[in-house]
Amino acid sequence: MNDLSYEQLQQRVKDLEKQNRLLQKKLERSESNRQQLEDSHEIQSKLLNRIIQGLEQSRAEAEARSHELQEAFNNLQMMQATLIEYEKMSALGVLVAGIAHEINNPVNFIHGNIYYACAYVQNLVDMLSLYQKTYPEPDEQIQAKLEELEIEFVVNDLLRLLISIRNGSDRISDIVLGLRTFSRLDEAEYKKANLHDGLDSTLMLLQHRLKAHGDFPGITVIKHYGKLPSIPCFAGQLNQVFMNILVNAIDAIEERYIRQISDKNQYNPGWIKIDTSIVDTKWVRIAIADNGLGMSEQTRQKIFNPFFTTKPVGKGTGLGMAISYQIIIEKHGGKLDCFTQVAQGTEFVIHIPLSR
């Protein structure tokens, strides 16, 4: 370098300066490229974000729509269940009311007259014995007739016979009253009713299943009825609820009996306990408990779903509890709870408000 002349050095500096400028330009260009790249990356990532957001929104919308659809489907199922049950129950109600009405008149003849018949027969018997006392030695013809007709036996048997007819007619009258209370077609409106009458008429309709039959030893009904005022309600509908709960209780007890049939010593007799009480100024409580086979927690969670049943096809439709829930909660603004334990039993607790 020391050998370079001053001009040469100047030239060298110029060259270096030129190279420096070129490099600077290259640097600027690549900086601008980098900037461009960064900008386009930002734009792309923004675009991507917007797309993701859009997708997210669509997903949420689809989810909401599917939720709405599920809800609409559930409502439809519930409505269908209600319609089927309404139709079934109203057909049953009409049938029961019709039968009760038709039987009522002839039963009234029997029921109304049997008491007079008993009294008249008693009078005739008294009269006959008075005759016998006054004329202990009747003539031959009368004596022969007395013997032929076995009058002594007839007199005793006739009274017993009339008493059993009277008991039978009392029973038919009770049944007719029960049928009329159950159907309560005249009480489709919301008005005050005696809940104990409803429970009793329902129990009466279920007598044939509560009594011992075949091998089955029967079910004891234990009533703890509190002092209840008349409750404003749809009485016919509440009777449906009592019916559904009681039938399920009987089914559960029978099922436990069938499962324990191989070891009859192990079988505790079946019972259904009905408890009614006033909770406070607002609520009345009706609890119906059974010592049937109980339910698992999984089953318990589903019992109010329409069409949920664990019973064989043809035995259960799975509507009873769904409808009962609707009647208690929606129609009466009440509460319906279920407590249960496998192999121990089940309790349904109904709360009805004393005013709407």
Ligand X SMILES: Nc1ncnc2c1ncn2[C@@H]1O[C@H](COP(=O)(O)OP(=O)(O)OP(=O)(O)O)[C@@H](O)[C@H]1O
DSSP 8-class letter at 208: H
Q: Which is nearer to ligand X, 115 or 267 (CB)?
A: 267
Window contacting ligand X (CB under 6 A); options: 11-19, 185-193, 257-265, 310-318: 310-318
Q: Give how far the C-alpha of residue 278 lies from the chain's centroid of Cα atoms, to the nearest Å.
A: 22
Nearest distance in Å: CB 204, ligand X: 19
248 binds Mg ion (CB under 5 A): yes
Window contacting ligand X (CB under 6 A); options: 27-35, 220-228, 267-275, 311-319: 311-319
DSSP 8-class letter at 311: S
Backbone angles phi, psi at 268, to 5 degrees: -85, 135
Q: Which residue has tokens 């039959």?
A: 213
Q: Which is nearer to ligand X, 100 or 290 (CB)?
A: 290
198 binds Mg ion (CB under 5 A): no
290 binds ligand X (CB under 6 A): yes
319 binds ligand X (CB under 6 A): yes
Q: Which is nearer to Mg ion, 237 or 248 (CB)?
A: 248
Which residue's CB atom is positioned nearest to Mg ion?
A: 320
Q: Are strands 270-278 and 219-225 parallel, antiparallel or unpaired?
A: parallel
- Which of 233, 241, 249, 286 is the binder for ligand X (CB under 6 A)? 249
346 binds ligand X (CB under 6 A): yes
Cα–Cα dist 133/33, whole Å: 142
- Which of 201, 248, 276, 291 is the binder for ligand X (CB under 6 A)? 248
Cα–Cα dist 321/346, whole Å: 13
Cα–Cα dist 260/254, whole Å: 10
327 binds ligand X (CB under 6 A): no
End-to-end CA gap in the chain = 112
Of the candidates 231, 171, 180, 217, the one whose C-alpha atom is nearest the C-alpha of residue 202 is: 180
Which two three-digit tokens encode residue 242?
């009592």
- Which of 320, 323, 340, 347 is the binder for Mg ion (CB under 5 A)? 320
Could you tell which of ligand X, Mg ion, none binds residue 317, using a CB distance below 5 to 8 A set by kind? ligand X
Nearest distance in Å: CB 273, ligand X: 12
254 binds ligand X (CB under 6 A): no
Nearest distance in Å: CB 306, ligand X: 8
Q: Which is nearer to Mg ion, 201 or 248 (CB)?
A: 248
Q: Give how far the C-alpha of residue 19 lies from the chain's centroid of Cα atoms, to the nearest Å.
A: 95
Q: Where are the beta strands (DSSP E) in the chain?
A: 191-193, 219-225, 231-233, 270-278, 283-290, 335-341, 345-353
Backbone angles phi, psi at 171, to 5 degrees: -65, -45
The footprint of ligand X (CB under 6 A) covers: 244, 248-249, 252, 290, 292-295, 299, 303, 308-311, 316-322, 346
